[in-house]
Structures are given as structure tokens and as C-alpha cells.
Chain A
Amino acid sequence: MLLCGCNLHPAAKRSGLLVAAIASDPGHLNPAITTNGGVHTASDLLYNGLVGLNSKAEPVPELAERWEVEEGGAVYRFHLRPNVRWHDGRPFTSADVKYTFDEVLLRFHARARASLSPALSAVETPDAMTVVFRFKRPYAPFLQQLDVVEAPILPKHLFEGTDPLKNPVNLAPVGTGPFRFVAYAPGAEIRYRVNPDYFGPKPELSDLVLRVIPDRGTQVMALEAGEVDWLFGVPGPLRSTLRRNPSIRFLQTSLSPGGSDCITTLAFNLDRPSLSDARVRRAIAHGLDRRLFLERVTFGEGRAAETSISSMIAFAHANDLKAPAYDPGEARRLMAAAEKGRIKLGFTFFPTDAEYGNLLRAQLAEVGIDVELHALEAPVLVQAVFVQRDFDIALIPYCNGTDPEIGVRRMFVSSSIAPVPFSNAAGYRSAEMDSLFEKAASSLDPKERGRIYHRIQELALEDLPYLPLIETENTRAYSARCEGFVSSSHFAAAARCGP
């Protein structure tokens, strides 16, 4: 067996093949019925949205060639790109867009359903190459919600009349995207081939394989051994060793599979007597050194967050605002003023965030708060925090998306205090905050919206229902024999691999 090992060794690959590691088996490949990051990572390359988002998160033509915004933002008219074909050869038309929105996205894609269904009144198709979206009132963030992550378009001819959750096409997808589906070996790998008829720039790769490797350490070793060419993330402690390897390159991005521009945030449960006191919340904020979290937990990846809107959303992020600075003396003074003595609080977090817990406990002990750690796995945490509201402080990675409407609004408006994952965990209610978000959503002028979001961030730091800790970043790592990657979900569309 060792004899044939030499020519069998997986590192001996032909050029034109890219092997990327993914951590979990996606289960199916239909990005329109879920917001699950694993499914999107494995299926977005097969599909397109009406628009794409460039590296500055600005909308660029994809399935729509151009568009007009009418009636002050209440009507969006898209002119579709002609001669686009599905991977099975059938032409792409406006009927596909209408079907996908009405029958799939607005029913099953949790983000599209939550944000668009209350606002959208109708999807119309005046002709085969035009789609019109009518809203009940002006709706500003729509163009940010049409990329392949938020609104992938499915082929009507393969889905109509079926149950989209059980359609066999979910396991043998037919899209319009830069890659075509070849085979799915459950738990092992998914194989793709380049789409020679792609309307965009043709990928220079010939084949792509997404390989399921659950263990992050094994992923890194597979990259070093040359069995894998691309990793979506590298664990902190392994990053520095990998950086010394001359045959590995890196790409930093704020995009993570679950969403983009995420801020690891402390949510204070305002229903708890001790935390309903603003002085206690402020004391906690002053008691934490956010730079230390950056240093010890994320190993320098990302940056200390100052407000709840990511610095990646340039028009909305307030550069001049700062979260309470590290000042244990001030924290102790505030705790004394709150006259509660030494208090005890629970801290709830995902098991992967255990290091945040250890550091938080050590720092808060200094200012008179004893922290009890509760590591809960994802389905349990979501239930404990958002449904049962049984927590004191929770660590939640809130992803902003490319517009504050997508990921920030849900944290602050009172209508989103509901048993829904990643909603208003704090249970924060403020009439001023609610009306500010209403105004921001219906204005189309970025400057005007920027002013409103500035006030929103100011108010959030005054009331402090949340403490933003770290704006997280991800490190993609890839073999030096390949180049031309981007951080978006079409990461390999322009990639090239040498021998």
C-alpha cells in the first residue's frame, strides 16, 4: 500500500482543480430556503442574485442588467440580463424571479421573510425581461438585500408545484452561477465544474471540490500538506504558525458564512433587577478592557468595537463615538453608587466562545461582580436567551449585514422583542429609538440616513442595552499556487490555480 502511496498522494493534483475545505456537511444545496451559513457557502457559487455586491458592498449588475428606483423608493424596476441560461439550457426570465420571491424566499428564507414580507406589496412581471417590486412605503435597503446570499434566484421550471423543502433538485441543483453542480458525496465532498456559458467573466479553474473537514486543526494540516487549497477560516492559535509557511497566502475579510460585518456583543437582560440599573451596565462596560479580548481571544483578528454599527458600513458608522473606556476605578465607583454590594451574574455564551467567558469573569471580579459561566450549544442558547429569556448577560455575535436595516434594527426596536433568534435580546424599549429606525428605513438619502444612524448609535451608548466588544474578522488562507480570490460568496469565480 505504501508503494502506490507515492503516486496516489492527494497533493499530486492537476492544475485547474481547486479544493476548498468546509467545516460541515451542508445537507442540501438550496440557498433560497435557508440562511444557514454552511448551505450558502456550498451553494452560492451555483446561483446568482438580481444584483451582486462589490468589495465596498455597493450593488452591481448580476441577473439584472440595470434598474430604476421610482416613487421615492417605493417601486424598484429591474431590467434583466438577456440570454442568461440555466445550467440545464433553459432560458432565465422574469417568471423565475417572481416565483422565487413569492413561493420560496418570502416563505422559507428567514431573513427575506422577516424584512421583506411586511414591506413588500407585490412582485410584477410586465414582460419576460422586466421585474417590478412594489412596496407599501419607501424601502431604502432593498438593493442590499438582492445578492445571492439574501435572495438567490431559483429555476421556476424545476420547482413550480413542488415542495421546495423536499425537491430533489436541492441535492442536484441547477442554477445560473459561475459553477455547475457535478456530484454530492454526503459527508465527504461536493464536486463542481466551471460553467462555460456563464454570463460574467469565465472562471479560469476547471473544477472545484468542497471537502468536508469538521476539525479545524485537520483543515490547517490538510492545507499544509497540499491536499486542500483554500480555508474559510484559521483558528487563532494556528494562525501564527501558518503565517511562517511561505507557500500559504492570506485574505482578511469581515464576511463570515453566517453573515457579514459581525460584532461580538454583550446583551444585558434588562428584565433582571440588577441589570435594569444603568449604572451597573456602565460599570460592566468600564470594567472590561476590550483590547485584551482582541489580544487574547481573537489573537489580534478584528478590532475593538466602539458602537453597534460596524465600521464596515461607512455611511452609517459614527467615527466620533466611543464606547465606555476601560477604567476599573470608575467601574467600582459606579457599583458603589448603585448600592448593590457584590453582585452575582450569569454569563451565557456559545461553547466556542469559552475564552471570552474566562476573560470576562476575571475582569469583572475586579470590580465587584462575580460571574457564573454558562456555555450552551447553539440550539440551546438560542432557546434560553431569545425564547425563555433565562439569562443575565449573553454574548451574541450580531451580524450587521451590509445595511443597518438588515442586522442592527432587530437588536433595538421594541417590536423585535420576540421569541426569535438574534432579535432584541436585551428586551430594550425606547420610543425614540423606534421612531429613529422608522425614519432611517424610509429615507433614501445616505447623508440623511447617516445622521439618523449617528443619533441611534449615540442613544444606544447612552442607554447601553448592549456593549459592542469586537468587530470580528475572518482569515481566509490559501495555497500560493492559486490566486485571484475574493471574499464574497463567489470567492472562487475569478480564481486561478497553477500546477
Chain B
Amino acid sequence: MRGLREFVALRRRRTLRTVSARYLAARLLQIVPSCAAVVVVAFLLIQLAPGDPVLALAGEHGDPAYYAFMRQRFGLDQPLPRQLATYCIRVASLDFGVSYVQGRPAAEMIAERVPATLVLTTTALLLSLLVAIPLGILAGRRPHGAADFAVSALTVAFQSTPSFLLAHLAILGLALGLGLFPVQGMTTAGSPGSGLKHFVDIAYHLILPALVLASQEVAVLARLTRTGLVSELDSDHVRTARAKGLVERVVLWRHAMPQVLLSLVTVIGARAGHLLAGAAVVEIVFGWPGLGRLMLTGLQTRDTPVLLGVFFVISLAVIFANLLTDLLYAALDPRVRYR
């Protein structure tokens, strides 16, 4: 582990030298057109999708006068280009409009849900790294050995089990069966709580959903680590390092792992979207009050302002994840320079 720490410290010093302020500003500026494209495309896609928010809102009954009245209230009677223009101007000032269903700002509703999803996804990501890298090393150091076989069986099983099924199995076995974890929710029912007790309560409810969400990432990352390591250990510079008489720990962390971690970083960044999509499924099964759940309800009720707001936030998260990946890449790979 000390090797890893040295390695991280070395790379961190490097970042400042390899990424220029101009590059960073340009990348940040690129976010604006990306977001604008997301807003326009998402808006038009929702208009193309069948299903009318006013009909969804009315539930049973209603009459044409009621629909006309509601349409006017929400500005849905305006021509489409004007609706789009109004929406874009609002979004530019970070106003996502008012939810058709709840009558309060969509931005407020989204902000309430972001922490839950953030806690779930980051915990799952950390858990998956903590598990996947050791598993990958275990398998990659002795290819085709017993450990490799076991790890590969495990990852194939994780990757090929749909997460909703895995979630149900986990609840059935670990929560209902062994009673180790609660079945659902983010906190104990009816206890608002605060301070340390609240924190422990959330952590206790978090473990199972985070494990389930992490499992698919573990599968991908462990296999990637394993494959990367196998090819690195077979490469010329590792052979040279060994020939120099370096101990295996140094060979592994100084010479083989940096390359492997580099490919991991790229993949993790690219999987941010996948992680959020997986979170939606896990949130539904575990009753976790996050963004994915809000998106599903927004879809069912055709609550366009909320839906578009969630799309926007998720796109922003993916864009930033990619930016972060590129910066990390520069920090890790001495050949990469952003000017």
C-alpha cells in the first residue's frame, strides 16, 4: 500500500504542471454548448413522446374545458417554438419551471433528491474500487490459476445478473433472511433524527443498496484490472524491472499498476452515466429517495419541468465526470499535457 501512496503523491504534483489555466477555461466553456444541446434535444424528445401531462394530471374524468384551463395555466397552449424559447431563457437563469404535479419549483424538488443519489453512487463507486482492484490483482498475478478462475466466475455472475434481481436476492438473503440490514429506506421509519445517530442510521441503511449497485461496477473494473495487469506483467519494462532485481511489490506498484490504473480511470469516467442509471433501479427496489425515483415519477406523470431538470442535472454530472477523467488522466500519465 505504501507504494500506492507514493505513486498518488507523485502524480498529484504533476497535475499542476501539465494542465494550463487556459485549457481548463476552454473545457469549462465547452460545457455551455453541451448543456444547451442537452436542453433543446431533451425538450424536443419529450414533446415527441406520446402522453399528455394534462390528461395524466386529471386522473379520471375532467372535461375539455378543464383541459383547456389547465393547458393555459401551464403555458402548454403556446406554440412549441415559443414554449422552447421560454424554457431556454428560464434554464439560462437556472430556473427549471414549476412542477405540474406539485406546484413548486422543479429545481427545489431536484435539489432535495441530489444528496441521496450522490451518497449512494459515491459509496458504491468507492466500494467497487476497494473490492475490484484487489480482486483484479489477485486474478492477474497468476493468470489461469485457481484465484483467477474464482474471480472470473464471480465477476461473470455479477455482470450477468440484472441489478433488480440481485437487489431482491440481497434483500431476501441478507435483510429478511439473516436480519443483517434493513429491507428498505434511507432512515428508520418515523425517526427524523439528527447528528451522529442520524448519520449511523443512514450508513446502516446504505450498505445493502450500495453493495448491490457496486457489484456490477466490481465486475467490470476487476476484469479490466486483471486483463490490464496480465498484459503489463508480460511487457518489456516489467521484465527489465524484474531483471534489475526489484522486489515484486515495487514491480507491481511502480511499473505495472500505473498503466492499469490509467485505463481504469478512463473507464470509471465513462461509466458515470451507467452508474446513475443503475442507481435508478437500486433506488426503486430499496425505496431510496434519490433522483432516479424522481425521474420515474416525473415520467409516469409527464411532469415535464421535473423530467427536463433531472435530465439536465444528470447530463451535467456526466459532463463533469468526463472533465474530471481528462484531468486525472493528465495527472497520471506523464505523456499527456493539456495546454
Chain A residues at the B interface, C-beta cutoff of 8 Å: 1-2, 4-5, 8-10, 13, 17, 19, 24-25, 27-28, 34-37, 107, 110-111, 113-115, 163, 165-168, 170-171, 183, 185-189, 191, 207, 209, 211-215, 217-218, 221-222, 224-225, 227-228, 258-259, 377-380, 382-384, 386-387, 399, 410, 418-423
Contact = CB atoms under 8 A, between A and B. Distances in A.
A410 B52 CA distance: 21
Given A214-B296, A377-B300, A110 B102 contact: no
B60 A211 contact: no
Contacts of A115: 61
Given A171-B104, A227-B183, A8 B294 contact: no
Secondary structure type dominating chain A contacts:
mixed
Contacts of A165: 73, 103
Contacts of A5: 180-181, 204
B287 interface: yes
A48 to B, nearest CB: 21
B180 A35 contact: no
Interface in B18-73: 50-53, 55-64, 66-67, 69, 73
Contact of A221 (B183, B289, B294): B183
Contacts of B175: 221, 225
A215 B204 contact: no
A218 B62 CA distance: 34
Contacts of B55: 379, 382-383, 386-387, 421
Interface of B: 50-53, 55-64, 66-67, 69, 73, 98-99, 101-104, 109, 112-113, 116, 168, 171-172, 175-176, 179-190, 192, 200-201, 203-204, 207, 284-287, 289-290, 293-294, 296-297, 300-302
B157 to A, nearest CB: 21
B62 A420 contact: yes
A214 B284 CA distance: 6
A367 to B, nearest CB: 32
A188 B180 contact: no
Contacts of B290: 187
Contacts of B180: 2, 5
A113 B65 CA distance: 10
A22 to B, nearest CB: 10
Contact of B190 (A17, A110, A224): A17
Contact of A379 (B51, B60, B207): B51
A110 B50 contact: no
Given A214-B287, A420-B64, A10 B56 contact: no
A258 B58 CA distance: 12
Contact of B287 (A4, A213, A419): A213
A185 B109 CA distance: 11
A189 B184 contact: no
A166 B103 contact: yes
A35 B103 contact: no
A382 B56 contact: yes
B77 to A, nearest CB: 15
Given A8-B200, A209-B190, A379 B53 contact: yes
A166 B105 CA distance: 10
Given A10-B182, A188-B289, A214-B287, A35 B61 contact: yes
A9 B187 CA distance: 10
Which among A107, A227, A418 has the greatest number of chain B C-beta atoms within 10 A?
Answer: A227
A191 B190 contact: yes
A418 B64 contact: yes
Given A218-B285, A418-B63, A209 B200 contact: no
A9 B204 CA distance: 9
Nearest to A183: B192
A383 B51 contact: yes
16 contacts: A4-B200, A5-B204, A24-B297, A25-B297, A36-B57, A113-B66, A165-B103, A183-B192, A186-B113, A211-B184, A218-B287, A228-B189, A378-B51, A380-B51, A420-B62, A421-B55
A171 B63 CA distance: 27
B277 to A, nearest CB: 16
Nearest to B303: A27
Contacts of B293: 25, 187, 214
B179 A9 contact: yes
Contacts of A209: 189-190
Contacts of B112: 186-187
Contacts of B109: 186
Contacts of B62: 110, 113-114, 420-421
B285 to A, nearest CB: 5
A227 B185 contact: yes
Given A8-B204, A379-B302, A418-B63, 17 more contacts: A4-B200, A17-B189, A110-B62, A113-B62, A166-B103, A170-B102, A187-B113, A187-B294, A218-B168, A225-B182, A258-B60, A379-B52, A379-B53, A384-B50, A410-B61, A421-B59, A421-B60
